[in-house]
Amino acid sequence: MQNDFELLANDQHSNARHGRLKTAHGVIDTPAFMPIGTQGSVKGVSPRELRKLNAQIILGNTYHLFVRPGLDVIKHFGGLHNFMSWNGPILADSGGYQIFSLAKLRKITGDGVEFQNHIDGARAFISPEIAMEIQAALGSDIAMVLDECVPYPCEYDYAAKSAELTGRWARRCKQWKEENAQRSTLNAQRPTQESEISNEQSAIVGQLLFGIVQGGTFDDLRRESAQAIVALGFDGYAIGGVSVGEPEDEMMRAVESAEPFLPTNKPRYAMGLGTPPQLLEMIARGMDMFDCVLPTRLARNGTAFTATGTLNLKNAEFALDKRPIEENCACPACREFTRGYIRHLIKAEEILGLRLITLHNLHSYLNLMNRARSEIERGTFDQFRKAFVAEYRTRDAVPIE
């Protein structure tokens, strides 16, 4: 496995780290937040706007892109980067979360997952090897092993069997990558008359592969899963199966149980998290990378994130408010528009209103990561985290559907 992660600073009062991860499409400074582009698009935002917001990396969804538009279309356009006109790093998840979220449409076996897709009900099958093939076709900079994300609550025996299955699948994913990277390298060394090097083959060689720790809310299973996944040797390590309905203290404990067993010289990715205070708490617990639907999904419901909490801009109190969403914010929405105008757009169901809040929320999350990196460098992260969490208030946020 490659070693492309460099630690630049450590916080003296927590496990927070500032690092730098090199990928085929650029460098990522950590802690880093990844906007979610489930279907090859971060909802409501163009790649040009993402670059202006200083997004370093985005996330694409293996399952959804496999179902629609399909791999033949994405291959035709030369991979996901070309297809969506994004020239920065992309992380593609493995489809494991959809195994969890589409539970009524799938059947899990030791070989993989058989499912009916949610669009037209057509039957399909994803194995660890197929998940790797899909991610190679996408050309993502970071691929994830196929895993099973167990629900909450979950019985111990099921969580144990699931974690063991995730470990076996991880081994198969790594084996597939090693075999195909070797084959791609050999092809690259031959004359072009014998073999044309495809974008897919090039992607396999340069693609980083992250393992995933599972184990539900059980400390011993988290520890054992972390040890088993680390023993296989990956480019980075993710903690999965969190933020699936468990109380926040259980979420934190799942990370705390696994973190001591993860290598310090590899990036750590807490999957599917979270609110701004949760992100800072996870950074304090040694996590480096995050993704979450909250900034874009809540924006579409009229909810904005600020440094002191959330605002539901549908509320009548903002009808005559001439202030920006957040004072001293440099995002496009706050530079040009008032709360009152944005509320009007939301109430009138104008698309611009949802886009403006989305731009603001993404700026807020990305700026929080930038601030966290600076505070770690200065040695003041722990004070910053405690003050931020203490002042943060959730005000009338629309619940996630």
- Report, as residue numbers or ranges, the catalytic residues: 93, 291
Nearest to residue 90, comparing CAs of 75, 77, 80?
A: 80
Which one-letter DSSP state was computed for residue 185? H
DSSP assignment letter at 393: B
Question: Whole-angstrom Cα distance, residue 30 to residue 19?
Answer: 5
148: CB partners within 8 A, 6+ apart: 96, 99, 100, 108, 162, 165, 166, 169, 214
DSSP-derived secondary structure for 315-377: SGGGTT--S-SSTT--SHHHHH--HHHHHHHHHTT-HHHHHHHHHHHHHHHHHHHHHHHHHHH
Can you name the residues that pair with 37 across neighbouring β-strands?
60
Task: Show Cβ contacts of residue 329 under 8 Å, excluding neighbours closer than 6 positions.
Answer: 306, 335, 360, 363, 364
- 79 is written with which tokens? 């991979």
8 Å CB contact between 223 and 231? no
Residues 94 and 136: beta-carbon distance below 8 Å = no
Answer positive or negative: Cα dihedral of 207, 209, 210, 214: positive
301: nearest Cα among 400, 227, 226, 373: 400
Q: 353, 346 in Cβ contact below 8 A?
A: yes
Q: Nearest 5°: phi and psi at 157?
A: -60, -40
- Cα four-point dihedral sign 28, 80, 68, 133: negative
- CB neighbour class for 101 (10 Å; exposed up to 12, middle 13-18, buried from 19): middle
